[in-house]
């Protein structure tokens, strides 16, 4: 089945460690996005990518990094520079141009221990 898959569903990180969240899609979508969700604050855009080997910072990119080496994959690394990383992370994809909707993965809940 076509869709967008995030892994793992739950992730625990020790302070000072980098962690990478996986996002894979088989929808042949050009555009992919990472959002962070905190209670009562909705979704905030971290990074987005419209094509392979190109990505742009969103509203809260500090402390995060991404890569887009393949169309299907858009991993997000939460670095030790991110001071408050505990959150729910959502990946999405869409066709570019006249896209009418974005498809979301099921999310990864990251907790710093």
Q: Which residues bind another protein (CB under 8 A)?
A: 6, 31, 33, 35, 40-43, 45, 48, 50, 56, 58, 90, 92, 94, 96-97, 99-107, 109
SS3 111: strand
Strand order in the sheet with 76-78: 4-7, 19-25, 76-78, 64-66
Kindly state the smallest distance separating residue 80's Cβ from another protein, in Å: 27
Between 22 and 50, whose beta carbon lies closer to another protein? 50
Closest to another protein by CB, 16 vs 39, is: 39
Q: Shortest approach of another protein to residue 63 CB, angstroms?
A: 20
Beta-carbon contacts of 97 under 8 Å, excluding residues fewer than 6 positions away, are: none
CA torsion sign, 92 to 55 to 10 to 15? negative
C-beta of 13 vs 109, nearer to another protein: 109
Q: How far apart are CA 13 and CA 86, in angstroms?
A: 9
With 0-12 / 13-18 / 19 or more C-beta atoms within 10 angstroms meaning exposed / middle / buried, residue 56 is exposed
The nearest distance, CB 90 to another protein, in angstroms, is 6
Least separation, in Å, of the C-beta of 16 and another protein? 27
Nearer to another protein, 84 or 100 (CB): 100
């Amino acid at each position: 089945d076509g869709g967008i898959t995030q892994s793992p569903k739950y992730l625990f990180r020790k302070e000072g460690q980098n962690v990478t969240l996986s996002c894979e899609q088989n929808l042949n979508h050009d555009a992919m996005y990472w959002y962070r969700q905190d209670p009562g604050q909705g979704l905030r855009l971290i990074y987005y990518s419209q094509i392979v080997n190109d990505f742009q910072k969103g509203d809260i990119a500090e402390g995060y990094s991404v890569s887009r080496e393949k169309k299907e994959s858009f991993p997000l690394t939460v670095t030790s520079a991110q001071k408050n990383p505990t959150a729910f992370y959502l990946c999405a994809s869409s066709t570019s141009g006249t896209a009418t909707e974005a498809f979301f993965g099921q999310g990864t809940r990251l907790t710093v221990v």
